[in-house]
Amino acid sequence: MKSSVSTSPIAKLGLVAIDGRDPLALAEFCAAIPGWRIEPWEDDGRIRLVGDTGATIAFQKALGHVPPQWPGDVHPQQLHLDFDVPDLDEGGRRVLEIGARKRGFQPAPGNFRVFLDPGGHPFRLVRSN
């Protein structure tokens, strides 16, 4: 695929977040596979697994979560990606240039911004420290 957009990176992948009814149980299961450590994340019960390479998987409570059914389209697999950026405005401008759409509702616009990829999947640009 050829693109006329600059190939310089816009952001660094910060984490992958997975929704579930019981984030701790899911984190404990997933931590056992690569041997990553479990850490609290935020004050609202979210949990993350941190590996030695800097990769992070986060788990967050979603009471209405319907597990995906694979294969199939009735309840497809869902997750969102977080990309760390030093400047939310600049990062936002650049992802819009390559086809993202900004969500209307922004729960914490000073810390992160929610966008949709061209297929409608949500992702966030997160202000890096």
For the chain, the average pLDDT equals 86
For residue 28, give the 3-state DSSP assignment: helix
Under 8 Å between Cβ of 116 and 122: yes
Using DSSP bridges, classify how beta strands 46-50 and 122-127 pair: parallel, antiparallel or unpaired.
unpaired
Cα separation, 88 vs 126, whole angstroms: 7
Torsion from C-alpha of 19, 20, 21, 23, nearest 10 degrees: -90
Q: Could you tell me the pLDDT band of residue 6, with boundaries at 50, 70 and 90?
A: low
Q: 92 — phi, psi (to 5°)?
A: -60, -45
pTM given for the model:
0.70
Share of residues in the chain with pLDDT > 90 (%): 31
How open is the CA angle 40-42-45, to the nearest 5 degrees?
65
Output the pLDDT for position 75: 79
Share of residues in the chain with pLDDT > 70 (%): 95
Bridge partners (DSSP) of residue 124 are 82, 114
Q: Which two tokens stand for residue 83?
A: 């990309």
